[in-house]
Structures are given as C-alpha cells and as structure tokens.
C-alpha cells in the first residue's frame, strides 16, 4: 500500500515536473547517497550510469518500483538522506511518513539503511582513519580510488567481508576508530527485533565485550537525557533578503534600519541543516521573516508539544545590534523576547530540558567592509549593496539593553561575537562562527559535550582575521564568540 500524498495521484506530466524540480535541488553528494541506498534494487551497471535523480527514477519506473501513483520509495529516499523539506515537497508530512515506516516497514533493505546511517555520521577525518584501518583487511588494489565511507563499505561487500549476516569486520573497524557510539546503529538490528509488520530485522550478533559499552552511556545526573529519536526540533531562521526602505525614514520609524542582503547566509543554513540532521534533529528552515514573523514563529514552536523530545535548538541568522536581531522589514526584536517564549511557564514540555540558541548577528558597531567579507550589522544610509566602503561608521542605533539570558535554568545562548562588536560573514563560504560551529560539531559531537565544543569554536574563530586597508592603514579585524548559559548539566548530543 503506497503512502497517500498530494503527489501520489498526480498526472504523469505533473509527476515528472515534480521530479525535475527535486532533481535540481539535490547535490551530487546526495545523489551518491541515493545510489548507495538503491544498490540492491538497481543493477550496478545501470546504477553507475545514473548521474541525476531523473535517471534513477526512470530506472525505478522500468522496474515497477515507482510511478505517478506510487511515490513512497522516492519519499523514503529523500527522507533517508535527511531532506525533510523534499518529503514535504512530495506532499507528505515527516510525521506522517515516520508513522508509515513504523506501520509498513521500509521499502529499502534494512542492512543498506544501516550502512548509510553509519556513513552519514562519519566526518572526513574519521573516513581517513577508517580507510587506514581497513588496509589490514583489504589489499591496496581494492581501495584504489575509494574516497567515501560508502565506497569503503562497497569494497568490503565485494570482498565478502561485509554482509547482512556478517558485520564483525565493521564492528572491528568502528572500534578501531573509536566510534563505539555507531555500534548502537548495528544494535538496532539485534536478533529478533521487529521493525514493521512482517519485517523481521536480520541478525547482527554483537561481541559481548562491545555491546554493553555504549547503551545508556550518558544516563547520568551529570548529563541531560539525550536519546530520543529525533532529539528534538532545530529551528533555523535565515534572514538574508532585506526590504529596501529608501534613503529617508519618518521620525516614528527611527528604530527601523536599512540593510544589505546577507549573501553567504544560505551556506550557513545548509551547514547547520546537515550537522543537526546528523545529530538526529528534525530540522526546519524558515526564511526572511519580519520582526513580528520571528516572534510569532518562536511562539508557535514554544506552544508545540515537546514531550517526546529531549532538546530544542534554534539558530537565528540575521543582522543585529547589541541584544537584538532584525527582521527583514528592518525592525529589531530583543533576543530575550524570542528566547523567553521557551521558559517553563510558556513551554512546559521543555521544562528541565536544554534550550539552545545560536545567534549569528552583529552585537554592536556598524562596519562596512570589503566585498568578499561583510559584517552582519546595519548599513549606512547611503551605502550601496556590495560596494567596498573604506570608512568605518558607528551604529546609528545606540545599544538599548545589555545581552542577557532568560532568568531560568537550562538555556544556552551562543552569540557569534562579543557585545559591542561585529560578526563577520564570507559571502562565499558563510560566517566565521557558523562554519566553525558546523565543522566542530561534525568532528567532535560524538565525543565531547557542548561547552567543550563551543570552546573549540572560540579557538577556531579567534584564528580568523580580515585585513582591511583604511585611509592608508592596514587594519586587522578579528572576532571572538561569546556563549552565555544557565545549563545545569552537560549536553551530549550522542
């Protein structure tokens, strides 16, 4: 029985148009992930010729796996690679599809899903360690040209060292690179586990010396509970396209500001989406919200039921000044007002759970700088979009209140910069803060708690410099993030 979606019964031409739109939205890496998941359904020779989703869907149509009236396999593929936005684009809610999987079971081999989940949790350095470790089991000739975790798994399968009923080498390799937490993924497929009606999971026996070491490792009074799947919601507000207000504003609108577009912010949003998807969060991205829109969005999520979640995360990417962020309409709102929606009185189902906010925005002076790097603070009244400006101008809005925390426990506010200072963003690679945060999370979230991770972020951001020549003088601009928190325990995302 197929999933009932808006796309399920669409006309074939509308179906192909939808697949084309989704194809345009997928990266080459995501296509590689989809091909890996389909390795057991499409013959290898045919699969290797597929470079786009359109090609893959044509192969699946030939096999009778998908059609305009049967899109559940496509929905599962984009769901498995963490593209919840595309699940919705296909006309299905994420919650509804999860219910379908629980009731009907996966259309994909569970062994392949397991390998994909493990591969997704690997970062570059760990892939290199895995490639080094596997050389004890495979000759160099079998690893020639292999650069991905999926490639390593396929090489092991081809050598008959990895299969549904044989994961001992995989367990050995994960242990060798100190990723005991990933053995938990294998443990989900332990003997007799039923995943859906009529779908008994394959038997993956765990060595007795391995199995007990990771289950419940963080169930301590020193740590927040963090084992729900998903962990919680990660709400990303990405304000990058600001309204043009003209050169002069009425006196009653003096609190309103003119801004440049925040080029490069889409890189930040995508980095965070990938990182928190890997950390088992349901990621939602909302774009270009007004001041009122941001407040309403926070109130909406605070009013949601978080009883089955262990955490809430939000990232706000916008222009700002001390204690405030701006909507795309140029109006400011205090960060305190946004975070206060999640105090226990307003959001009782998050009481006692960590509420984490990352703020990528200036917290002070207006600095117009060169094109390749911009600051997330208000632009001068006569500044042209993308034009290099040599003079440094003060923020027209004087700081109105200090940076503060909600007067409740279990909050963390990760500011990208100190009070009074600008926050830098590269228009090609994203902001210094968010790019560092995403990279450090990918590398260390499996072994360190959040405050240690943020210390590493501070260290990394502090090494960044921007050299600016102003009136014949070389000026070096730097930045240091400033996390504030009332956490009572350590936050481990694994």
For the chain, the structural domain boundaries read 12-108, 112-213, 232-485
DSSP 8-state secondary structure symbol assigned to residue 295: H
Q: Which residues are catalytic?
A: 319, 362
Give the C-alpha separation, 84 to 284, whole Å.
Answer: 8
State the DSSP H helix or E strand holding residue 443, giving kind and residue range, or none if neither: helix 432-444
Cross-strand bridge partners of residue 285: 236
Give the C-alpha separation, 236 to 316, whole Å.
Answer: 6
Distances (CA, A) of 407 to 44, 121, 341, 342, 477: 58, 36, 12, 11, 33
pLDDT on residue 421: 66
Model confidence over 4-28: pLDDT tens digits?
444 445 677 888 899 999 998 888 8
Residue ranges in the chain whose pLDDT is less than 50 = 1-8, 190-219, 250-252, 366-373, 379-400, 471
pLDDT on residue 359: 92
Give the C-alpha separation, 211 to 215, whole Å.
Answer: 7
CATH 3.40.630.30 fits 232-485, yes or no: no
Give the C-alpha separation, 361 to 365, whole Å.
Answer: 11
pLDDT on residue 294: 96
Is the link from the previous residue into 73 a cis peptide, with omega within 30 of 0?
Answer: no
Query: CA dihedral defined by 36, 39, 42, 48, rounded to 10 degrees?
Result: 60
Model confidence over 299-320: pLDDT tens digits?
999 999 999 999 999 999 998 8
Q: Are the C-beta atoms of residues 330 and 258 closer than 8 Å to each other?
A: yes
CATH top-level class of 112-213: mainly alpha
pLDDT on residue 63: 93
Give the C-alpha separation, 283 to 313, whole Å.
Answer: 9
Q: Are the C-beta atoms of residues 53 and 34 closer than 8 Å to each other?
A: yes
Query: Secondary structure of 98-157 in the HEC alphabet?
Result: HHHHHHHCCCCCHHHHHHHHHHHCCCHHHHHHHHHHHHHCCCHHHHCCCCCHHHHHHHHH
Give the C-alpha separation, 203 to 200, whole Å.
Answer: 9
Give the C-alpha separation, 132 to 167, whole Å.
Answer: 18
Per CATH, 12-108 and 112-213 having the same topology is answered yes
For CA atoms 32, 148, 282, 231, give the dihedral sign: positive
* pTM of the full structure: 0.55
Domain 12-108 CATH superfamily: Death Domain, Fas (1.10.533.10)
């Amino acid at each position: 029985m197929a999933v009932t979606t808006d796309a399920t019964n669409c006309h074939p031409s509308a179906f192909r148009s939808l697949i084309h739109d989704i194809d345009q939205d997928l990266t080459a890496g995501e296509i590689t992930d989809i091909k890996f998941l389909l390795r057991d359904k499409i013959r290898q020779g045919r699969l290797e010729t597929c470079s786009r989703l359109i090609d893959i869907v044509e192969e699946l149509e030939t096999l009778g796996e998908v059609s305009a009236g049967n899109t559940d396999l496509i929905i599962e593929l984009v769901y498995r690679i963490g593209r919840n936005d595309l699940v919705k684009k296909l006309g299905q809610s994420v919650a509804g599809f999860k219910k379908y999987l629980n009731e009907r079971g996966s259309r994909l081999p569970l062994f392949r899903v397991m390998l994909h989940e493990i591969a997704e949790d690997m970062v570059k350095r760990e892939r290199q360690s895995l490639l080094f470790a596997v050389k004890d089991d495979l000759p160099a000739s079998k690893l020639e040209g292999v650069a991905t975790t999926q490639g390593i798994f396929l090489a092991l399968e081809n050598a008959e060292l990895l299969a549904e009923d044989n994961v001992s080498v995989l367990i050995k390799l994960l242990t060798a690179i100190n990723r005991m937490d990933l053995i938990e993924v294998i443990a989900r497929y332990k003997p007799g586990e039923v995943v859906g009606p009529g779908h008994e999971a394959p038997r993956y026996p765990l060595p007795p010396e391995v199995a007990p070491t990771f289950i419940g490792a963080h169930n301590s009074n020193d740590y927040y509970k963090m084992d729900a799947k998903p962990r919680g919601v990660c709400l990303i507000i990405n304000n990058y396209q600001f309204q043009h207000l003209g050169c002069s504003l009425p006196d009653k609108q003096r609190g309103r500001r003119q801004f440049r577009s925040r080029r490069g912010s889409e890189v930040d949003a995508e980095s965070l989406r990938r990182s928190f998807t890997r950390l088992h969060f349901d990621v939602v991205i909302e774009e270009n919200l007004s001041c009122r829109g941001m407040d309403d969005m926070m109130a909406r999520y605070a009013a949601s039921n978080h009883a089955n979640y262990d955490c809430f995360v939000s990232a706000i990417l916008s222009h700002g000044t001390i204690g405030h962020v701006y909507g795309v309409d140029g109006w400011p709102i205090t960060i305190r007002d946004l975070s206060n929606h999640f105090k226990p009185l307003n959001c009782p189902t998050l009481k006692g759970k960590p509420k984490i906010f990352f703020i990528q925005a200036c917290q002070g002076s207006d600095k117009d700088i060169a094109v390749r790097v911009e600051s997330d603070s208000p632009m001068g009244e006569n500044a042209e979009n993308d034009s290099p400006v040599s003079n440094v101008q003060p923020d027209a809005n004087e700081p109105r209140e200090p940076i503060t925390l909600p007067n409740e426990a279990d909050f963390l506010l990760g500011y990208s910069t100190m009070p009074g200072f600008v926050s830098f963003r590269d228009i090609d690679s994203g902001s210094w803060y968010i790019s560092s945060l995403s990279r450090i999370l990918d590398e260390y979230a499996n072994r360190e708690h959040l405050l240690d991770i943020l210390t590493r972020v501070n260290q990394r951001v502090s090494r960044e410099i921007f050299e600016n020549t102003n009136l014949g003088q070389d000026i070096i601009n730097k930045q240091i993030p400033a996390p504030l928190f009332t956490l009572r325990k350590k936050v481990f995302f694994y």
